[in-house]
Amino acid sequence: MTAEHEHGAEDHVARNYDHIADRYAVHFCDELERKAFDRLMLDWLVDRTRSGTLCDLGCGPGHVAAYLARRASSVVGIDISPRMVAGARGRYRGITFQQGNMLDLDGVLEATFAGISCFYSIVHLRRDQLRDAFREMHRVLTPQGWLLLAFHVGEERCHVREFLGRTVDLDFQFFLPGEICKALEKAGFTVREALLREPYAGAEVETQRSYIWAQRA
């Protein structure tokens, strides 16, 4: 696929999330209240980084960045959707939110972040894009910086035409923990832990979740 087509696909994802940004915020901004394991993982990220700036990559409406900011001294949220970013800025003042694409974090210097949380934000990537995304995450982390990556476990790719009562045109990709670990290692990371949890019944889409901890080598 050409670079022009790649950017077109990324713009397509951004437009879809612009279309549902307000409803997405209403539906998901309080989700961490129902997800004790996710809160624990984020607490561990703060504990493991101790100091330095944290990044919530694919921040959506900003709620994960806001949770991190309760304990971390500096947090930046990055999302591909301009309307998601605008909403997060209005919702959580005092936190920096900016538009960006995880395949090319243009304007973010090397070794900027002590830690990155990336919760369910690789779902629109194809398998052949993983290495580029992980290389970019590796680049913007400090030496020994931590990546906390969460995703839906499986092998399928699902096409969705309706989401939160709005018409959309999105593909959602599931991944196996082993393939993600291999892609992270090829991008220069050292994988430290790979954890699994079952879904919270009635609180989220009922898919198995994986959480992978990796460090910039």
Q: What is the pLDDT of residue 10?
A: 79
pLDDT tops 90 at residue 29: yes
- Average pLDDT of the chain is 94
Q: For the residues 12-37, what does the mean pLDDT come to?
A: 95
Q: CA 99, CA 57: separation in Å to the nearest integer?
A: 10
User: What are the structural domains, with CATH classification, of the chain?
Assistant: 3-216 (3.40.50.150)
Q: CA 25, CA 21: separation in Å to the nearest integer?
A: 6
pLDDT tops 80 at residue 6: no
pLDDT tops 50 at residue 4: no
The pTM assigned to this predicted structure is 0.94
Q: CA 203, CA 130: separation in Å to the nearest integer?
A: 28
pLDDT tops 70 at residue 108: yes
Q: For the residues 21-27, what does the mean pLDDT come to?
A: 96
Cβ neighbors of 171 (< 8 A, separation 6 or more) are 124, 157, 158, 159, 160
pLDDT tops 90 at residue 195: yes
Q: Which two tokens stand for residue 113?
A: 């972040």
Q: What is the pLDDT of residue 8?
A: 66
pLDDT, tens digit (0-9, with 9 covering 90-100), for 82-99 = 999 999 999 999 999 999
